[in-house]
Chain A
Amino acid sequence: MIREFNPWPTVIFICLACLALLFLAPTVGVLLSSIKTTRDIALGQLWAWPETFFLGNFAEVVNNPAVHRYMINTILVAVPATAASIALGILAGYVFAKLPFRTSELLFLAMISGMFFPPQVILIPLFRLFNSMGLIDTLWPIIIVHTALGIPICTLLMRNFFATVPNALREAAILEGASEWQVLTRVALPLSLPALAVLATLQFTWIWNDFLWPLIFTNSDEKRTIMIGIVNLRGQYTVAWGVQGALSLIASIPTLMVFLFFQRYFIKGMTMGAVKG
């Protein structure tokens, strides 16, 4: 069958290409700034294609001990909080999917709704609580709060995933003499690795990028996470725009890695959480 020429794919492609350029421009700006000298930027050369690659900005950032500290602090928060929130989500999700009871649907909804509220709503009582425990200006409150705030999304996704594990599988294992714990860890969990990947990428990205909680719970430079650190360092490098660009880039490396390698999982998590919520 001979089809007549259809101009639409070409038109659509050109439209999308223009929009994509517009969308990429801001990110490209940061990339460009990081390899240019402050002088070039001040002279209005930021948006021009670089003739030489200036690596001094990166050297400045990488050799700054404060940046190391911020990075380590952020890892110390993001890794345990990601793991803990997923672990709690697994426990609750399993009960809601496989061991429902009379009021479980209500409890489930109550826990899920937690992800819709602005965090400002619980800010002051948590500040007072951690203050009275003497935990302000440590990493603990950030880890704890991110663990708690992760429970809704982790429970939701794990419940939806566990629901797809056939009940017959669980019953067979129970008949064989397995305990509920063994069913969860040896049967349901090995089948749920994709869900774990989704949650790990989502949670890690959110916690890594978070700004509000470290802002509230820490105040000394020793305990700052990378996102607060960048803002603080801006004062130090007021007009060193290139250094600021390199700093932003280095701070985004972990989440950009997640984006590059686990994008599929990340998008799945975002849409699952949203659509099923």
Chain B
Amino acid sequence: MERSTGYWRVALLALPVTVFAVFIVWPLFSSFYYSFTDWNGFNPDYDFVGFTNYAKIITDKLFLNAVINTVIWMLAAILLPTALGLALALLIDSRVPGGALFKSIFYLPICLSAVVVGQIWIWIYQPDWGLLNTVIAQVTGDHPRYAWLAKPDTALGSVIVAWSWQQTGLSMVIFLAGLTSIPGDLLEVCEIEGANVWQRTRIVVIPLLTPATVVVVALSVINSLKGFDILYIMTGGGPFHSSDTLAMHMYNESFKKYLMGYGSAISVVLFLIALTVIRIYFRELRRVDEIYG
């Protein structure tokens, strides 16, 4: 009996574990390996260059620029969709008529691809007939003809708005799932004790949403580190690298300049950042589990 169970474990796990090991784990470790080489992407041969690529990272102004943009991008990606998603979830959860329809409307952008979302927002920012400039023209009576995506001052911010538009629905459904786990009698007690809606939300509901908040924030950070497609579509990291993030910078160095060794070093840094975030996430999740059981 026991032997046969062991046999089945191996038989069933063999394929998934092998595929995972070969195409995810091995490449992960290889990235470390290639980050010590000068591989150019074409030539099968390469040389070991020690820490040269890492030394380059420290002096690379574009890398520092990408780190700063990633931090801005990450902070905005945490704040905007989380705050908006929470607000929407609370409003929809108040048994408003048409709640299911509202939920679908806010959720719809998640199903669209980055390419399509990028396309939509490129048109909103279009200088001549884009929605944003059209609205500004209607309100101020003066058509700005401002190219939002082509100006270093506004490029990154404009993409962040598009990204938040897409991500808010995800935060909203996670908060909604969290809201359903709050016991109804607790809210009833609040009502009996004379707490108004605002007090109830602030003192009871939001603290009880802590687990959902941890999940939303962690997902926002993780997704923002992955954020590449929409930037590639909307600005390509430009103008003048003003919307370059680490993922974008890594792509440009590796597949535009064919500095695969250097690109690997950037991806190692990206990996270490992601690892830190994931560890904090799991630790917080465990802590939250202990408190809220």
A→B interface (CB under 8 Å):
8-9, 12-13, 15-16, 19-20, 23-27, 29-30, 33, 41-47, 88-89, 91-92, 94-95, 99, 101, 107, 111, 113-114, 116-129, 132, 144-145, 147-149, 151-152, 155, 179-181, 184, 205, 208-212, 215-216, 227, 230-231, 241, 244, 248, 251-252, 255-256, 258-259, 263, 266-267, 270-271, 274-275, 277
Chain A: minimal CB distance from B90 (Å): 9
Measured CB to CB, the nearest residue on chain B to A88 is: B16
Complexed CA–CA distance, A107 and B21 (Å): 11
Complexed CA–CA distance, A122 and B231 (Å): 20
Complexed CA–CA distance, A216 and B26 (Å): 19
B19: chain A residues within 8 A (beta carbon): 88, 147-148, 151
A8: chain B residues within 8 A (beta carbon): 94, 197
Cβ of B8 under 8 Å from chain A: yes
- Most chain B beta-carbon contacts within 10 A, residue among A95, A111, A125: A125
Cβ of B270 under 8 Å from chain A: yes
Q: Are A120 and B267 in contact (CB under 8 A)?
A: yes
Cβ of B260 under 8 Å from chain A: yes
B165: chain A residues within 8 A (beta carbon): 23, 26
Chain B count of residues within 8 A CB distance of the other chain:
94
Q: Are B31 and A124 in contact (CB under 8 A)?
A: yes
Q: Are A122 and B108 in contact (CB under 8 A)?
A: no
Q: Are B170 and A270 in contact (CB under 8 A)?
A: yes
Chain B: minimal CB distance from A229 (Å): 9
- Most chain A beta-carbon contacts within 10 A, residue among B121, B255, B267, B278: B267
Measured CB to CB, the nearest residue on chain A to B261 is: A124
Cβ of B207 under 8 Å from chain A: no
Complexed CA–CA distance, A140 and B28 (Å): 20
Cβ of B226 under 8 Å from chain A: yes
Chain B: minimal CB distance from A69 (Å): 17
Would you list 26 pairs from A and B whose C-beta atoms are within 8 A, ordered by A residue?
A12-B91, A16-B92, A19-B106, A23-B106, A27-B109, A33-B123, A46-B123, A91-B13, A91-B15, A117-B274, A120-B246, A121-B274, A123-B251, A123-B263, A124-B260, A125-B34, A128-B260, A148-B20, A227-B113, A231-B115, A248-B116, A251-B116, A252-B116, A270-B110, A270-B170, A270-B173
Complexed CA–CA distance, A118 and B27 (Å): 13
Complexed CA–CA distance, A179 and B8 (Å): 9
B48-64: contact bitstring with A at CB < 8 Å (1 yes, 0 no)? 00000000000000000
Cβ of B4 under 8 Å from chain A: yes
A43: chain B residues within 8 A (beta carbon): 129
Q: Are A41 and B129 in contact (CB under 8 A)?
A: yes
